[in-house]
Structures are given as structure tokens and as C-alpha cells.
Amino acid sequence: MLQPDSETGWIHAYSHPTQNSHKIPLYENFCYIYYLFSLRQKESFETGAILLEKLLAYQVDGRFPRYMHEFPTPSPLGVNQWLLYPLSWIRLKTENLLSLSIRKKLDQAFTLLIDQFAPSYHLDALKNNTPPPNQLPSFHTGKDDIDLFILSLSLLTNNCKEDYLLQALSQLKGHYHSHLSMPLIPPTQAIEIDGKLIPSLIHLLFAPDKYLDDPRLALYAPMIKPLIEIAEILPEITPPHLTSLRDKHYEWLVQSGQSSLLRVVKEFTYSDTPWHRGFCLLYFAFGQSSLVCNRFCGALSTQTIENGIETQFTFDGPIANDKEREELVFMIRKEHGCTPLINGERATLFDLDQPLQLTTPTHSVQLEFESEKGRFLGSISLGNRPNNSPSDTLDDWVIAIRTLEREDEARLTLKLTYTEQVVSASLL
């Protein structure tokens, strides 16, 4: 688990397990305080009470800053809503144990904060520890909404029938690929460390033995421990082979196999707003490898086909990245000898009328391109994904489509198809 800094006594923010930061986030430290209380040890409880009183003093006009050094500037409500969950658990589990003065400060801080939010499913869970009648939420809205629902549902374990909880958990587990340990939610925040997606609460919920070793998730584990215990009795649920998910911005097409998960945006139009780190138009996990598309400046539309997709890229305006003329880029993780081949041979350049093949112990993948109103050239080199943690090695094959010449509204169609072998769990 994340440990407090030896000098400050607080949990510090980090972007990689080996990198520390001087920033002190309030959410992680409220979670740490609840962890201390959950140990039910006198020394830990006293330390938690001292830290809690200090942290509550950072509230300004009902809200808290994201980091201590930002005080007295409060963070947006979207950041503050996360604080409600450790505060709720602290209130529930220390009702008659804290001193009257700290308890009063805690109750006042919680009330001031929660009164700033509009009514919602999560808010009802926080205020009343009961769900809205006959209501289950939709999970088609992205990672943060999934995490917030898991936190809300865990609070409901204090005053809710188990059949409701099992029904909600079953619905959620249907959106989780257990063989790949990967949710079906859109990969809009596909940040990676050492080639693996950063896990979230859904990983901890359905695979606690595997993810309790993650220092960040271990910090949140006490808040969802009651829900983990209920989730353990759920049977295995296979996600649908074809489905459509929607977040706040896009509709995503999803294909799920025994050891593969293909997620691609259905329609997309590039704007001048830079992509945030980790955004991928396409994320295809197959066995131990993965393929992403994380650079394209134009319009995109996708349809599913048997064991694959057909995506049309429409180029518009001046050629982007004029020096390299790389307007469309794919990256493929180098795992288990996954090497891109052209006509069965390695190459550094290829014409787009030549299909590109990928082969792993579990999958055969083929990429075919067809162009209209333009001439393009493919190149293969080594590099690293921008969404990966810093690395001293080159971990990805970079498939760059370079524009030689094109008209406005030139089109490039990608047909991605794959086959997968039935394999033992040891190879997944």
C-alpha cells in the first residue's frame, strides 16, 4: 500500500510506482485516514484522528482543494465528489469513537460538501445509504462513473438487501473481461505502466487477489471490502461478443472473444483540442499484446464485421505533421514475438496494397488498407506509446501511414480481422 512520506506524514501523489511527488492529494489522504481507522488499533486510530482534524481545515466554501499546496483555492465539484466516499465511511465507522469536537467538524464538513451537489443515484447512496426504488444505473458512461458506482454500491452494503447488490454486481460483471482482466468500458484513459493498463476499482472488485498488491488500489480497498465479499459468490459471466457502449462523448463498438477485446469509436471528428494523454480511437487487446490507434486528425466512422472491424478515415485540411507527414499512427506492443510482417517478411516500408500480418501464440491478425483520392506509404519502426510510463526500452512497433499526396476528403479504409485459438489459461 502507498505509505506516507517520512518527512510530511502524508501520502504524496505519484505518476509511477518508482516516482514520488511533492504534491499532497486530499482524496488519497482521506482514504489513508479511513484505512487507519479500519485497522481498529489504538495507535492507528489516534494518528487517523490527528490527520483528519488537520485535513478538514482545508475546506473553503464547502469544497476542498485537490492538493494541499492549492489551498485556499477549492477544486471543481467533479474532483470534490470523490472526497464524499472516504468521508462517508469515516462517519459510519467512527460514530461514537471520535472526540465531540472532531465529530462536529466532520459532520459539518460532510454536510457543507454534499449540499453542493445535485440529486443523483450516487448522492442518494451517500445521504441515505439506500438506493432509489427499482433503479439500477447504466454502466455505459466511462471509467470514472463505474468507479463512483462501485464506491456508492459498497456504501449500500450497510443498509440494502443482498439481492439488489447481486443484481447490480451481475450487471457490472457482464462488462468485465475476466481472462484479460480488462473492463469493456471505453479506453478514454488508457494510461499504461510497464505495458499494462493502470487498474481501477473494477479490477480490485472482481480480482482482489491479483490487484491488492497494487499500492494505489490497496489504499482504496477498505472502502469496497464489503462489496468484494459479496462479489466473490457471483458465478463467471461471459461478456457479450458484440455490444455498443457510450461515454459522455462517443459511442464505442466492442467485440469480445475468449482472449481478445476490440474497442473502437463508432464515429469521430478531430477538433483543435489536443487529445489528452491515454486517449485511443482504437484499442485491441489480444492475448499478451495490444494494438492502439492514438494519432489521427480527421473524421472516422466504423462498422463491425465478422471477427473484426472496417474503419474509414477521412482526411481534411492541410497535411498534419508536415515534416514526417504521419497523419495516422498505430502502435503494437512487442510481446511473445509479435512482429509485423509484410507478405510473411519483416520490412521497414510497405505499400498499402500489401496486407500487414501479426502472429502470436493465440492470435492471427491482419490489417488491410485501401485508399481513395490520395497516395500513402506505410512505415514500420520502434517507439513507445505516449500513454506509457517512461521507459529505457522501445516497447512498441510503430505503424505510421505517411501521406505522399492527397486531395481534400481523401479516404483510407482499414479492414482489421483476426482469428483466435482456443488456449489454456496459462497462455492468456
DSSP symbols for 34-60: HHHHHTT-HHHHHHHHHHHHHHHTT-B
Q: Which of 8-17, 25-34, 37-46, 105-114 has the lowest mean pLDDT?
A: 8-17
Q: Which residues contact 318 (CB under 8 A, 6 or more apart)?
A: none
Nearest residue to 15 (alpha-carbon basis) of 198, 207, 212, 206: 198
323's grid cell = 515534416
Q: Which of 3-17, 78-92, 158-172, 335-349 has the lowest mean pLDDT?
A: 3-17
Q: Which residue(s) pair with 16 in the sheet?
A: 19
142's grid cell = 466511462
One-character DSSP codes across 317-355: SSPSSTTTTEEEEEEEE--TT---EETTB--SEEETTS-
Q: Which of 99-108, 135-144, 153-162, 332-341 has the lowest mean pLDDT?
A: 135-144
The C-alpha angle with vertex 426 and arms to 420 and 428, in degrees rounded to 5, equals 40
User: Residue-wise over 175-208: b if at least 16 C-beta within 10 A, else e?
Assistant: bbbebbbbbbbbbbbbbbbebebbbbbbbbbbbb
Nearest residue to 286 (alpha-carbon basis) of 423, 132, 107: 423
Q: What is the pLDDT of residue 186?
A: 58
Torsions phi, psi for 231 (to 5 deg): -65, -25
Mean pLDDT to the nearest integer, 348-355: 95
Is 176 or 142 the better-scoring residue by pLDDT?
176
Nearest residue to 380 (alpha-carbon basis) of 416, 404, 351, 419: 351
Contact 151, 223 (CB under 8 A): yes
Most confident listed range (18-22, 91-95, 385-389) = 91-95
Q: What is the pLDDT of residue 366?
A: 97
Q: What is the pLDDT of residue 278?
A: 65
Mean pLDDT to the nearest integer, 399-404: 93
Mean pLDDT to the nearest integer, 69-93: 94
What confidence tens digit (pLDDT) does each residue in 158-184 have? 877 888 889 889 988 988 998 888 888
What confidence tens digit (pLDDT) does each residue in 23-71 have? 999 999 999 999 999 999 999 999 999 999 999 999 999 999 999 999 9
Q: What is the pLDDT of residue 295?
A: 81
Residues 89, 268: Cα–Cα separation, whole Å: 41
Q: What is the pLDDT of residue 122?
A: 64
Q: What is the pLDDT of residue 130?
A: 59
Q: Strand pairing of 242-246 and 196-197?
A: unpaired
What is the percentage of the chain residues whose pLDDT exceeds 70?
85
What confidence tens digit (pLDDT) does each residue in 200-251 have? 899 999 999 999 988 889 999 999 999 999 999 999 888 889 888 887 778 8
Q: What is the pLDDT of residue 182?
A: 87
| pLDDT exceeds 60 at position 397 | yes
What confidence tens digit (pLDDT) does each residue in 267-313 have? 988 764 445 556 788 999 998 899 999 788 789 999 999 999 999 99
Q: What is the pLDDT of residue 192?
A: 64
User: Residue-wise over 243-261: b if at least 16 C-beta within 10 A, else e?
Assistant: eebebeebebbbbbbebbb
Burial of 133 (0-12, 13-18, 19+ CB in 10 A): exposed
Contact 48, 33 (CB under 8 A): yes
Under the banding of pLDDT at 50, 70 and 90, the label for residue 157 is confident
Nearest residue to 106 (alpha-carbon basis) of 91, 125, 123, 120: 91
Q: Is the dihedral of CA 144, 145, 146, 149 positive or negative?
A: positive
Q: Which residues contact 70 (CB under 8 A, 6 or more apart)?
A: none
| pLDDT exceeds 70 at position 140 | no
Amino acid at 74: P
Under the banding of pLDDT at 50, 70 and 90, the label for residue 142 is low
Domain ranges of the chain: 242-427
Question: What does each C-alpha distance from 83 to 29, 59, 78, 172, 239 come to in angstroms?
Answer: 10, 11, 10, 23, 32
| pLDDT exceeds 50 at position 261 | yes
Under the banding of pLDDT at 50, 70 and 90, the label for residue 124 is low
Q: What is the pLDDT of residue 59?
A: 97
Residues 57, 64: Cα–Cα separation, whole Å: 9
393's grid cell = 526500452
Under the banding of pLDDT at 50, 70 and 90, the label for residue 426 is very low
Q: What is the pLDDT of residue 145?
A: 79
